[in-house]
Structure 1
Amino acid sequence: MKPRTLRRHINESVKSLGRNGWMTFASVGAVAVSLILVGMFLMVMFNLNKIAGDIESDVEVRVYVSQSATQAQTRQLGSDLKQIRNVQSVTYESKKQGLNNLMKSLGNDKSTFSDLKNENPLPNAYILKTDNPQQTTYVANKAQSLAYVSDVRYGKGTVEKLFHVINIARNVGIVLIVGLLFTSIFLIANTIKLTIVARRREIEIMKLVGATNSFVRWPYFIEGLIMGVLGSVIPVLMVFIVYHFVYYNLGASFSGMFISLIPYQTMTTNLSLLLVGIGAAIGVWGSLNSVRKFLKI
């Protein structure tokens, strides 16, 4: 397409948006309201997904070495653990390190265990991380079957329930997001369709005087793009304002519960780009889909 023709289409699109002010306002408003709902829901779901991922990454398998195992046998156990499928890392923790870590985690109450330094009852241990947290149970069972292992702990029972709840939450979230997006597309496309239907005679006249389908489509393509982008402005501003309040005012409360939110800059940038892209795509799709049937003359 020649630059001159493109400028003509852009100018015509802008003029049409002005001439059909109320219909343009209705279409932009439909985009804005729908994207506000989508944006707020995505904000919650992205953070829930991050929290679920953080919880999964904290799950580990602790393999306790038998007290009777020699140093050579302990090293052999470490080698055997590395051979288990889905094991990402194996970290050795001596009984001394285990006691120090326990005392450190207890804070003011660590004096209770200070007398145990000379007679440390804790066993040596290996700490395993898995490639996929969902494989924790499999890895724990495999580790339990190895020689020189006295016990394996990973939160049996609790971990399985946790993963089950996380999977349900993610699946429900995906279904709700898809449903909300389809509802938004239906609402926005039908609002834009009313705008196009009101101008069907304009399209018919253009076709009768010899305009090609692409020549007719381009102004509506640009109009849909502009309406979609304009409709995403308010949702983007809402994302910045709402997430600023949540992150900087409620983030400290969440950190006290060992929950961290997605960083403000990352969330607002990525979600804003996503909302603008969704708004533009829906606007263009709604315009082109609505004008298509009037091109068959």
Structure 2
Amino acid sequence: MIKGLRTFLYELKYAFVGMKRHIMLCFSAISAIGITLLLIGSVLIIGLHVNYFSNDVQKDLSIHVILNEDIEDSNSIKKIEKDIIKLKNVSRVEFSTKDNELELMIKEKGDAFKAYRGKSNPLSNAFFVYVKDASSIGKTSTQIENIKGVSSTAFGGDSVTSLVKMLNMIQKIGLGIVTLLILLSLYLIYNTIKTTIDSRSDEIMIMRTVGATNGFISNPFIVEGIFIGLLGAVIPFMLVYFGYEKLYESLGGKLFTPMFSLFKPSIIHFEVGLSIIFAGVLIGAFASLLAVRKYLKMKR
């Protein structure tokens, strides 16, 4: 245990010596990674909200299925319901009686329709059909419309599918940007560690001569990479932590309308803040490992 502690302290010391020797190079890498991680944090915040908005829209999105006027007996209604449930994109079906349909119309269009309550109700029974994939709601609506006993369907038209497709596209673009930014961070730390290793080639050669293992040689460089990544994550973490809280307060917890509610700061602090720290440490360790392994492999 004491030997392991000494080794660990040596690795820490060696890592700090390396950073001190190349302080300007480390500073530039930390600054660049800080900017990159800040961009990653911003994209993650946008991505979380887009995903939330998309799920919220899709959760409440349904096809209003109007049945023929003569469909009133329970057997016919159950048969149509079974035919709808068989469709691949259907997640659940809710039955709505003609009386319930009238109440919904009164709520939406005014008290004038109260006169149609009772036997004078001209409406038909209906279903509210919820789908798994909102981008295919148009296709599912057409399939339902072709079922015998269905009079018509409505789901909000092309504007709804366009909104869902746009939100899905934003998610994919965000994922692509995050991937590119992570690769950029890897490249920056990789080059920093590579330069540090090249400057210490004589020391590494002496270590190998006296029997030092590859692990003993590489660990200080990996620790150095972790510190660079961690230091690069500190400022982005603070900006996200305090910046989002100010943004949330200034917007009153919503974006334009109550429909687009923002995540509470505590959620962003935990999920995005920790993601930035974790990304910095992981990217630093992985980039350093790649650099030192490549060097040791070449110098065998």
Whether TM-score is above 0.5 comes out as: yes
Q: Deviations over 1:46-71 (max 9, x none)?
A: 21222122222222111111112222
2:41 is matched with 39
Cα distance change of structure 1 residues 125 and 46 upon mapping to structure 2, 3 Å threshold: same
Given the alignment, which residue of 91, 95, 99 partners 2:94?
91
**Residue 152 in 1 paired to residue 150 in 2?**
no
- Counterpart mapping for 1:1-297 below 5 A: 2-18=4-20, 20-72=22-74, 73-105=76-108, 110-118=110-118, 119-254=120-255, 256-295=257-296, 296=299
Q: Which moved more, 1:205-214 or 1:87-96?
A: 205-214
Q: 1:203, 1:294 within 8 Å by CA — same for their partners in 2?
A: no
> What is the aligned length?
294
Q: Percent identity?
A: 28
Shift in Å, 1:294: 4.3
> Partners of 1:232 and 1:271 in 2: how far apart?
12
Moved more, 154-163 or 219-228: 154-163
The 1:197–1:26 alpha-carbon spacing in structure 2 relative to 1, beyond 3 Å, is farther
Q: Which whole-Å CA distance do the structure 2 matches of 1:257 and 1:90 have between them? A: 27
d(CA) in 1 for partners of 2:158 and 2:36? 41
Report the alpha carbon displacement of residue 208 of structure 1 after superposing the two structures with TM.
3.3
> Any unmatched runs of 5+ in structure 2?
none
Cα displacement (A) at 1:134: 3.4
Q: In 2, distance between residues paired with 1:265 and 1:253?
A: 15
> Is the Cα–Cα contact under 8 Å of residues 97 and 125 in structure 2 kept in the other structure?
yes
Instruction: Quote the offset at 1:16 in angstroms.
Output: 4.1
Q: Classify 1:185/1:12 alpha carbon distance in 2 versus 1 (closer, same or farther; 3 Å).
A: closer
Q: CA deviation at 1:293?
A: 4.8
Cα distance, 1:232 vs structure 2: 0.9
- 8 Å contact 1:27–1:192 — kept in the other structure? no
Change (3 A) 1:94 1:190: same
2 CA distance for matches of 1:9 and 1:147?
75
Is the Cα contact below 8 Å between 2:95 and 2:128 reproduced in 1? yes
CA deviation vs aligned residue, 1:93-152 (integer Å, no higher than 9, x gap): 12222232333346xxx3343333354333221001123323423432232122221111
Q: Partner of 2:211: helix, strand, or coil?
A: coil
Give the drift of 1:292: 3.7
User: Any gaps of 5 or more consecutive residues in structure 1?
Assistant: none
Residues in 2 aligned to 1:254 and 1:104: alpha-carbon distance in whole angstroms: 27
1:154-174 CA distance string (max 9 Å, x none) = 234334433433343333223
Summarize the Cα distance change of 1:14–1:96 in structure 2 as closer, same or farther, 3 Å threshold.
same
1:227 shift after superposition: 1.9
What root-mean-square deviation, in Å, do the aligned CA atoms of Structure 1 and Structure 2 show? 2.6
Secondary structure class of the residue paired with 1:136: helix
Partner AA of 2:103 in structure 1? N
TM-score, normalised to structure 1, is: 0.86
Q: Which amino acid aligns with 1:89?
A: R
TM-score when scaled to structure 2? 0.85
